[in-house]
């Protein structure tokens, strides 16, 4: 069985991550706020983790509402 | 304590200074933050820190809804409207720039402007009419090639006079001038729509008609303007920590250091209350109270009322004087013998008093709020009548 792959959306600050979280909650897309992995950034912030298959849905939901810095495969 | 102060229930008519009482939910939100959340928002990433961040986001979202703004991150929290105005003015204006303002401004606009003037900024103060009204055409006539900004109060804290903000926004937009509105007296009390009114910077107070605690306020910044707008303070923001330069994006650029999270929790609840009641309903009640008071005053000899004659042209603020009684004497009488709390003097707006002709003596100012009652207005009219009738010589 294939292992679940995740991507993370990185944001300028926690305010943006929390706004994204609210949008995804309303949209019903499963997500989790996790501390930014150390090998990605030394930021003391959080990022939004979603399953890889949902990346385009999430981008569509967030576009024009909250800007993100990048999307990375975990 | 003198017997009079024990016998009289308080009639709180100083809502223009700070609102009281607050809706029940305000304190509940602050207690909830303190007992169930704690945590430093945007810093530590643990569940309590995130919950604190969510409280702040919710407050931002409520304010964005109230001001007709579609991006809540356009709103930065400050400790009061004065701080927001200082960011707006000293953050934009450079020596050689020209700024236009009105003769009805509060010192929180005028004092920063006078300082900037000493540093080489040119100011034009457009005169308002005897009842405090600013004519948009007079503003248009004051525009020069170097005009960078127009800063105007939405409504006077002395006379309540409501300024033609939408018209001014059009004129500013047409000339490419940054339009800054001081909404300390109007956020929550009058409808404000930042896009329809073409407002670029909106400074608001959290503890007046938004029913938050003191220590809260904020600044709305139009998209893109943050590139030009310098912050007043710089420091830790919990973002981009690896960089030693200040973030250049909203809201972090203007939110250095730990925010007043417990206060913002209260402010969020206050704004939700305003949204639930509806600004129109709040406005309607305040206008009725003001109409009742103005009608009663008109029947009293020896009383001079300042500002527009109709309640529709003003917020629920009324400045007046009683012949033969100084404002401070009257305010003391009201406080000690009638339990009526108000503000005498110049109310931090000497320019407004010069405009209406009361600079030497000041005025008595009543500021009604959503929780005031008709009976309180009637009692106040009786109190004024007793002072006006048998006024003590000064």
Q: In what helix (H) or strand (E) does residue A73 lie, and over which residues does it extend? A: strand A70-73
B53 contacts A13? CB cut-off 8 A: no
Q: Which two three-digit tokens encode residue B125?
A: 């103060």
Q: For all residues of chain B together, what is the average pLDDT?
A: 95
Alpha-carbon span B232 to B252, nearest angstrom: 12
* pLDDT confidence of residue B3: 44
Nearest to B73 among A15, A41, A42 (CB): A15
Alpha-carbon span B357 to B390, nearest angstrom: 25
Asked whether the predicted pLDDT for residue B318 surpasses 80, the reply is yes
Asked whether the predicted pLDDT for residue B198 surpasses 80, the reply is yes
Q: Which two three-digit tokens encode residue B163?
A: 């300024």
pLDDT tens, position by position, B356-387 = 999 999 999 999 999 999 999 999 999 999 99
* pLDDT confidence of residue A43: 62
pLDDT tens, position by position, B11-66 = 999 999 999 999 999 999 999 999 999 999 987 788 999 999 999 999 999 999 99
Min Cα separation B85/chain A (Å): 23
Asked whether the predicted pLDDT for residue B333 surpasses 90, the reply is yes
A15 contacts B57? CB cut-off 8 A: yes
Counting residues of chain B whose pLDDT is more than 90, the rounded percentage is 92
Min Cα separation A56/chain B (Å): 22
Nearest to B45 among A12, A16, A45 (CB): A45
**Does any CB of chain B come closer than 8 Å to the CB of residue A43?**
yes
Domains of chain A listed by start with CATH number: 6-73 (3.30.70)
What confidence tier does B1 reach under pLDDT thresholds 50, 70, 90? very low
**Does any CB of chain B come closer than 8 Å to the CB of residue A33?**
yes
Alpha-carbon span B235 to B128, nearest angstrom: 41
Looking at residue A61, the DSSP 8-state letter turns out to be H
CA of B51: which chain A residue's CA is closest?
A: A18
Q: Which of B363, B63, B19 is nearest to B185 (CA)?
A: B19
Domains of chain B listed by start with CATH number: 3-19+278-386 (3.90.1150.10), 24-277 (3.40.640.10)
From chain B, the residues in CB contact with A65 under 8 A are 71
pLDDT tens, position by position, B121-141 = 999 999 999 999 999 999 999
Min Cα separation A47/chain B (Å): 9
pLDDT tens, position by position, B233-290 = 999 887 777 778 899 999 999 999 999 999 999 999 999 999 999 999 999 999 999 9
CA distance to B214, B285, B297, B355, B377, per residue, from B290 (Å)? 25, 9, 10, 22, 9
CA distance to B11, B301, B320, B328, per residue, from B297 (Å)? 17, 8, 9, 19
* pLDDT confidence of residue B7: 63
* Residues B103/B79, Cβ–Cβ less than 8 Å: no
From chain A, the residues in CB contact with B43 under 8 A are 14, 44
Counting residues of chain B whose pLDDT is more than 70, the rounded percentage is 97
pTM for this prediction: 0.95
* pLDDT confidence of residue B72: 98
A45 contacts B238? CB cut-off 8 A: yes
**Does any CB of chain B come closer than 8 Å to the CB of residue A32?**
no
Reported ipTM: 0.91
Those residues whose C-beta lies under 8 Å from the C-beta of residue B7, and which sit 6 or more positions away, are none
What confidence tier does B168 reach under pLDDT thresholds 50, 70, 90? very high
How many CB atoms are closer than 10 A to CB B114? 12
pLDDT tens, position by position, A7-56 = 999 999 999 999 999 999 999 999 999 988 878 775 658 999 999 999 99
Q: A46-51 and B178-182 as β-strands: parallel, antiparallel, unpaired?
A: unpaired
**Does any CB of chain B come closer than 8 Å to the CB of residue A49?**
no
């Amino acid at each position: 069985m294939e292992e679940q792959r995740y991507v993370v959306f990185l944001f300028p600050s926690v305010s943006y991550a929390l706004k994204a979280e609210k949008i995804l909650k309303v949209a019903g897309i499963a997500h989790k706020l996790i501390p930014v992995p150390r090998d990605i950034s030394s930021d003391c912030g959080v990022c939004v983790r979603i399953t890889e298959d949902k990346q385009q849905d999430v981008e569509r939901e967030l576009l024009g509402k909250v800007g993100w810095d990048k999307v990375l495969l975990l | 304590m003198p017997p009079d102060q024990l016998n009289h229930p308080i009639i709180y008519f100083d809502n223009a200074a700070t609102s009281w009482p607050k809706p029940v939910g305000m304190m509940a939100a602050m207690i909830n933050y303190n007992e169930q959340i704690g945590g430093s928002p945007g810093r530590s990433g643990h569940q309590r820190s995130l919950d604190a961040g969510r409280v702040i986001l919710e407050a931002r979202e409520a304010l964005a809804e109230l001001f007709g703004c579609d991006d809540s991150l356009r709103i930065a929290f400050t400790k009061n409207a004065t701080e927001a105005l200082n960011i707006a003015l000293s953050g934009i204006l450079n020596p050689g720039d020209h700024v236009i303002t009105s003769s009805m401004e509060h010192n929180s606009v005028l004092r920063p402007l006078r300082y900037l003037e000493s540093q080489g900024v040119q100011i034009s103060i457009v005169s308002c009419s005897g009842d405090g009204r600013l004519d948009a055409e007079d503003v248009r006539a004051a525009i020069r090639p170097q005009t960078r900004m127009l800063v105007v109060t939405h409504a006077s804290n002395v006379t309540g006079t409501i300024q033609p903000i939408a018209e001014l926004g059009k004129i500013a937009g047409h000339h490419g001038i940054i339009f800054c509105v001081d909404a300390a007296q109007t956020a929550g009390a009058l409808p404000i729509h930042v896009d329809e009114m073409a407002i670029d910077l909106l400074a608001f107070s959290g503890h007046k008609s938004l029913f938050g605690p003191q220590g809260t306020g904020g600044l709305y910044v139009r998209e893109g303007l943050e590139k030009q707008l310098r912050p007043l303070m710089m420091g830790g923001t919990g973002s981009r920590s690896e960089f030693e330069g200040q973030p250049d994006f909203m809201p972090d650029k203007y939110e250095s250091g730990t925010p007043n999270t417990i206060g913002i929790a209260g402010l969020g609840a206050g704004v939700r209350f305003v949204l639930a009641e509806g600004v129109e309903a709040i406005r309607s009640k305040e206008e009725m109270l003001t109409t009742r008071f103005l009608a009663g005053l008109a029947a009293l000899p020896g009383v001079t009322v300042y500002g527009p004659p109709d309640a529709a042209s003003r917020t629920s603020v009324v400045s007046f004087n009683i012949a033969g009684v100084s404002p401070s004497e009257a305010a003391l009488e009201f406080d000690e013998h009638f339990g009526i709390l108000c503000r005498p003097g110049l109310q931090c707006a000497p320019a407004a008093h010069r405009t209406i002709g009361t600079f030497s003596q000041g005025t008595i100012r009543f500021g009604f709020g959503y929780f005031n009652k008709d009976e309180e207005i009637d009692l106040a009219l009786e109190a004024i009548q007793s002072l006006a009738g048998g006024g003590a010589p000064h």
